[in-house]
Amino acid sequence: MVIVLIVLALAIFVLPNLWAKWVLKRHTRGRDDYPGTGAELAEHLLRRLGVDGVKVERSEFGDHYDPESRCVRLTPDHYDGRSLTAVTVAAHEVGHAIQHHEGYAPLLARSRLVQVAQKAEKLGAILMMAAPFLFVLTRLPGGLAAVIAMAVISFGTAALVHLVTLPVEFDASFNRALPLLKEYVPPYDMPGARHVLTACAFTYVAASLASVMNLGRWLVILRR
């Protein structure tokens, strides 16, 4: 039973990320037939779609859209790259900028939840450090309920952020980026673009499952 659980955990946490990295790397070959880099496509799409005030910058901290500074950030490989992965990732991050521009409710909800989650993570860190004292507290009247409430607030908020992230990521990929890419990427490259978007989405699915499992693990431990 333990071996099955270990294999299941590895499948959930490791395989999606490995597959995503393999897919992204598979399509990083430079393409001379592409008219621009990932950054140039992002800037062009923002201008074309009238999404004003959004910058495109290099980032060493992963590809993402920052709604607070209204900035699409791309890693150097994707910012300067002229490959299917570069333009697909750029289109995906522009998809988030479009969501923000249009007031897409799940994106706004995620942005608010992230701020709450940052505070909840601090509570989670305190719970981890205070674990020996928590087990004593759970023996007191009402102590178990208080500790479970703290665990749900801390780890449950993180799980909720990941779950809200899923529709945001899928919408940015398949409802926004994919239709745009059809206008710029050759038809024979579209299956690859879809694979890149799917691979990126799977990493968020894995993160969501991990958060839910982490919350469940803590609830089981505290109830013992």
Active site (catalytic) residues: 93
- Residue 79: CB atoms within 10 Å: 22
For residue 116, the tally of other CB atoms under 10 A from its CB is 14
**Distance from C-alpha of 163 to C-alpha of 165, rounded to nearest angstrom:** 5
